[in-house]
């Protein structure tokens, strides 16, 4: 059922706004396969701390000038956000839209994937310097970068993610070769989805500024790490080294099998529960096993002990590109290839997923993040020439 005189975002957020479920948009039944699936065993999702990267990081820190996220956002020479991409990306009306510059909007070498915001990271929704950034991950050619977007200054800056290691007795770093399908920022830590293994961990206080380092160089886009006595980052000014990782205790994931370790396709943060959680889930094909969604207590990731998932369930649909939960409400994005994607909204009841409503949204919608102070949920449309960082109003996101 579609109520034409009700804005699409109010139909999607209708449960919290007091609109009856039947008036919230197109109502779907949960597929029989998902409704019949049994709850996954939580032990399948145990996470163990990966190898320590302390030694190469300390050595690099002695040679390179490091800064934090505030300095990256406040630096000169960043790219400018622009407008005009919403229509091409198929972004619905009533949305807030930011567009990358022409080169980043058109490139096929890099594809945006994950989205997280300062609202995930901090209860006050501001960094110490006052900025309110949005972060976007991109994968491309065996590399990953994260874009720090400053909506107040309408600028953004790319930061290359790198893996610190030793080359003999000298510290260096290499590319991070993962899909980076989701990112989640909590406190100072940035967690990046590693499809096969779990999570890569980075620290937003530890970003090396190669331009301000005597041993650094911003020349040579084909070089990364130590070359000829200089540290390179494919021409980027800033590189952020991996500080740790969390890997599945029961082995590799990466495939939708319906059991065992998770295919870590996307991640999100829920700060609206009494114990904040990191959410992760699987992108699975229609004819494969039903995907799963899992939560872990995010503060437990600050330690070294094995972290046990505290909840898991089968997903209501396939091809889900991202999800987020706030105050018991769930939103999911579904990619449909050349067609515009879908946004699903539902609640999880004790017997399973409740009534599901959906709305057609942008092309290639990806990861999701709830910005509580704005009452908006952010995502990114991934396709070249149909690319946009955008958000929609969502009353339960608060």
What's the pLDDT score for residue 230? 97
pLDDT value of residue 39: 75
pLDDT tens, 232-269? 999 999 999 999 999 999 988 878 999 999 999 999 99
Q: Is the dihedral of CA 338, 344, 348, 349 positive or negative?
A: negative
Give the pLDDT confidence score for residue 339 in this predicted structure. 97
Q: What share of the chain is helix, strand, coil (3-state, %, to 5)?
A: 15, 40, 45
Token pair for 210: 């190669």
Q: How many CB atoms lie within 10 A of CB 140?
A: 14
Please, which residues have CB within 8 angstroms of residue 240's CB and are 6 or more apart in sequence?
A: 146, 159, 160, 161, 162, 190, 202, 203, 204, 206, 207, 208
Spans of the chain below 70 pLDDT: 1-25, 27-37
Contact 242, 163 (CB under 8 A): yes
Mapping DSSP to helix (H, G, I), strand (E, B) and coil, where does residue 84 land? coil
pLDDT tens, position by position, 317-376: 999 999 999 999 999 999 999 999 999 999 998 889 998 999 999 999 999 999 999 999
Q: What does 163-222 look like in DSSP terms, one character per residue?
A: EEEEETTEEEEEE--S----EEEETTEEEEEETTTEEEEEETT-EEESTT-TTEE---TT
Task: Choose among 162, 175, 239: nearest CA to 207.
Answer: 239
Residue 273's pLDDT is 97
Report pLDDT for 16. Answer: 33
Inter-residue contact 122 to 46 (CB < 8 Å):
no
pLDDT score for 31: 62
CA distances from 320 to 61, 232, 284, 286 (A): 39, 36, 7, 10
């Amino acid at each position: 059922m579609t109520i034409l005189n009700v804005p699409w975002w109010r139909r999607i957020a209708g449960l919290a706004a007091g609109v009856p479920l039947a008036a919230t948009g197109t109502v779907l039944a949960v597929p029989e396969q998902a409704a019949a699936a049994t709850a996954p065993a939580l032990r399948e999702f145990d996470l163990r701390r990966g190898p320590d990267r302390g030694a190469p990081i300390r050595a690099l820190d002695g040679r390179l000038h490091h800064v934090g996220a505030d300095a990256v956002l406040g630096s000169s020479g960043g790219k400018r956000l622009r407008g005009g991409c919403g229509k091409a990306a198929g972004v619905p009306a009533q949305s807030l839209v930011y567009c990358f510059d022409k080169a980043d909007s058109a490139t096929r070498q890099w594809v945006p994937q994950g989205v997280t915001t300062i609202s995930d990271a901090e209860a006050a929704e501001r960094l110490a310097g006052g900025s309110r950034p949005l972060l976007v991950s991109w994968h491309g050619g065996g590399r990953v970068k994260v874009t720090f977007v400053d909506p107040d200054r309408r600028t953004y800056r790319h930061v290359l993610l790198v893996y610190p290691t030793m080359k003999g007795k000298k510290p260096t770093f290499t590319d991070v070769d993962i899909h980076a399908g989701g990112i989640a920022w909590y406190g100072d830590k940035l967690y990046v989805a590693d499809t096969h293994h779990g999570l890569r961990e980075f620290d937003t206080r530890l970003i090396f500024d190669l331009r301000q380092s005597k041993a650094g160089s911003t020349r040579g886009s084909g070089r990364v790490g130590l070359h000829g006595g200089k540290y390179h980052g494919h021409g980027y000014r800033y590189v952020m080294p991996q500080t740790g990782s969390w890997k599945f205790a029961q082995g590799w994931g990466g495939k939708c099998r319906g059991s065992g370790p998770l295919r870590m396709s996307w991640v999100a943060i829920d700060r609206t529960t009494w114990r904040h959680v990191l959410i992760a889930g699987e992108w699975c094909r229609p004819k494969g096993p039903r995907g799963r969604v899992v939560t872990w207590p995010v503060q437990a990731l600050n330690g070294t002990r094995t972290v046990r998932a505290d909840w898991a369930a089968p997903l209501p649909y396939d091809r889900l590109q991202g999800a987020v939960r706030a105050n018991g409400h769930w939103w999911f994005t579904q990619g449909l290839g050349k067609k515009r994607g879908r946004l699903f909204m539902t609640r999880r009841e004790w017997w399973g997923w409740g009534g599901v409503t959906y709305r057609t949204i942008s092309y290639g919608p990806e990861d999701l993040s709830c910005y509580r102070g704005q009452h908006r949920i952010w995502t990114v449309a991934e396709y070249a020439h149909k690319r946009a960082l955008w958000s929609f109003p969502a009353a339960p996101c608060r």
